[in-house]
Amino acid sequence: MNARIFRRSLPTVVFDVAVAGVVILLGVAPAAIQPGGWWSAAIGVAMAVALLFRRVRPVAVTVAVAVLAFVQVALGWAPMPYDVAVLIALYSVVKYADRLRDGVLAGIVAMIGVVFAAVQTPSQVAWYFTAIYFGLVTGAVWLVALNVRTRRLYVLSLEERAATLEREREAEARAAVAEERTRIARELHDVVAHSMAVMIVQADGARYMIDQSPETARNAVKVVADTGRQALEDMRRLVGVLRDPSPPDPAADRWPGPAPARATAGPAEGAQLDPADGAQLDPADGAQLDPADGAPPGEPGHRRPAVAELPALLDRFRAAGLRVGYTVTGAPTPLPTALDLTVYRLVQEALTNALKHAGVGADVAVTLVHGADAVELRVVDDGGGSGPVAPAPPGGHGLIGMRERVSMYGGSLAAGPRLAGGWQVQARLPLPSSSATEVIAA
């Protein structure tokens, strides 16, 4: 129940009222025949009222009940049925008091009261036998309360530890998201810087060729426009990722270090303009140019990996012990640079997790589907490897990075275990629409 009365849960209040009601009944019912009559019953009622606050003020309640009990003893009234309130107060102070010292002091006072009560109890045996009996009962209640207190504090410590771990997990997830977004930002900065470099080269070429070859100049201007649209679209995706404050759930480990290098070439005199993909090509080797300053740290030679280099990546994992199969369906089309990098990173992360968790010897199938409006990726392992050499360190955040990258393109990502064993990762990345490109250009 979530209902609360006086900032206390309803079941707790009902239980305490029932306990107080029982004590009142034990004090009032025999009032006509017990020593002290209704005055004695009044002491029982006062004890019962004090017990209503035994959870929130255990020390004060114990003091009040003890004073009333000593008043009863001082008046020469033998122990009454409502004196069970003394045991309830003793139990409460041991269980709920902030310091166990209060419970120990309450136990000492209770033992002194036991001696006085035994002396005044009419009995055919010696008073110390009665004191031993009362002492055993009081000691048993004190030990039970101590055991319950210990378990209660243990449960509270577990709850606090769980809450602390949950806060730490959320903080680590937020830090991982921030770190991953920083990496994505660096890589997209590389993409945009590359596009700007291409636009400048193409614009300069168009300016020099406008009189000699108008057709070549026209193609170069078209490349400038297409490259600018794509760069603007990539930048809008980047801004959307950085504005989104919600972190995904962490699940896997980070991908490995440096990715395979991509061939580059410096600008050469007489370089040809390639209008198909907006990149400057060097006739010496046909390598795509990269800007000199836009690559993210960790990539050797300031180079970016791409889908065309997936076979080299798969060879690296084959050398590490995975049996990797690679299938490409559909007609491959040139992808935007940022999307090209995203597909590569998804494959890299999925294979890394397969090697870490499935182990050496696992069979992995990588399928890349080129569709008319999207690129689909599927990486499936059978989980039949030799298993990890050592347990994977906790706190990895690989799926966070994968989700961040997929979310930039409004795509979908599904990762989880398979019924037949192993693990699978499926991602769908929509291709930029021509209509969206035209709107951006406007």
Residue 37 DSSP code:
H
Nearest one of 88, 83, 87, 98 to 26, comparing CA atoms: 83
SS3 content of the chain, % helix, strand, coil (to 5): 60, 10, 30
Residue 278 contacts residue 197 (beta carbons within 8 Å) = no
Q: Which long-range contacts (CB under 8 A, 24 or more apart) does 165-173 make?
A: 169/250, 170/247, 172/250, 172/395, 172/397, 173/247, 173/248, 173/249, 173/250, 173/397, 173/400
Interval 62-107: pLDDT, tens: 999 989 888 888 887 777 888 888 899 999 999 888 888 888 898 8
Q: Which of 168-177, 194-203, 221-230, 288-297 has the highest mean pLDDT?
A: 168-177
**Six-digit token pair at 429?**
């990345």
pLDDT value, residue 326: 93
Question: Is the model's pTM score more than 0.95?
Answer: no
Half-sphere exposure of 293 (CA within 13 A, CB side): 2
Amino acid at 407: S
Res. 287: pLDDT tops 60: no
Tokens 């000492």 sit on residue = 108
230-252 burial, b if ≥16 CB within 10 A, otherwise e?
Answer: bbebbbebbeebeeeeebbebbb
pLDDT band at 440 (very low <50, low <70, confident <90, very high): very low
Res. 397: pLDDT tops 70: no
Q: How far apart are CA 317 and CA 283, in angstroms?
A: 33
pLDDT band at 279 (very low <50, low <70, confident <90, very high): very low
98-123 burial, b if ≥16 CB within 10 A, otherwise e?
Answer: eeeebbeebbebbeebbebbbebeee
Residues comprising the chain, all counted: 442
H-run or E-run covering 370: strand 363-370
Q: Which of 125-134, 229-238, 303-312, 343-352 has the highest mean pLDDT?
A: 343-352
Half-sphere exposure of 45 (CA within 13 A, CB side): 10
- Output phi, psi for 345, to 5 deg: -65, -40
pLDDT band at 239 (very low <50, low <70, confident <90, very high): low
pLDDT value, residue 251: 40
Percent of the chain residues topping a pLDDT of 90: 11
